[in-house]
């Protein structure tokens, strides 16, 4: 499952993502990964959630993010869910076309590895392509 939390800056997307990750950790035997572009929220997450800070790993495009995700998966096969905070902050160059390609790649990862993805994106949800609007929660 891929879910996208989209909205303008300051609408509480990150708080919602953290709350959902913390709730899920109690309801699963699998591991959860939270990817963020800095360490601001590390102490807001349950201690069982693996926190990954990309600050030292600049990601130029969606392909590099997918490679980064594959690297995480290659080290741990028990990952059930990945939470990605601030796609527009993590990936320096991301537009609607890149978002559609990223969704397609995450769909494939979900099918082959059984990982659920949840992500936040700073944008007007009404400006997203229809395929992405279908996964906005």
Domains of the chain plus CATH, in order, are 2-133 (3.40.50.300)
pLDDT, tens digit, 9 for 90 and up, residues 87-128: 988 998 889 999 999 999 999 999 999 999 999 999 999 999
Angle between helices 62-75 and 96-113 (to 10 degrees): 20
User: Alpha-carbon torsion 3, 90, 62, 96, what sign?
Assistant: positive
pLDDT at 93: 82
> Can you tell me whether residue 44 is helix, strand or coil?
helix
* pTM given for the model: 0.94
pLDDT, tens digit, 9 for 90 and up, residues 51-69: 999 999 999 999 999 999 9
């Amino acid at each position: 499952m891929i879910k996208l939390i989209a909205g303008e800056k300051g609408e509480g997307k990150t708080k919602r993502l953290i709350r959902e990750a913390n709730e899920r950790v109690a309801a699963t035997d699998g591991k959860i990964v939270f990817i963020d572009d800095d360490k601001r929220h590390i102490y807001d997450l349950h201690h069982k959630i693996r926190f990954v800070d990309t600050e030292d790993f600049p990601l130029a495009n969606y392909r590099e993010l997918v490679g980064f995700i594959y690297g995480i998966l290659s080290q741990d096969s028990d990952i059930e869910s990945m939470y990605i905070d601030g796609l527009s902050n993590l990936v320096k160059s991301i537009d609607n076309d890149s978002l559609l390609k990223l969704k397609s790649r995450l769909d494939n990862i979900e099918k082959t590895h059984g990982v659920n993805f949840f992500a936040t994106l700073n944008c007007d949800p009404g400006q997203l392509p229809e395929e992405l609007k279908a996964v906005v929660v």
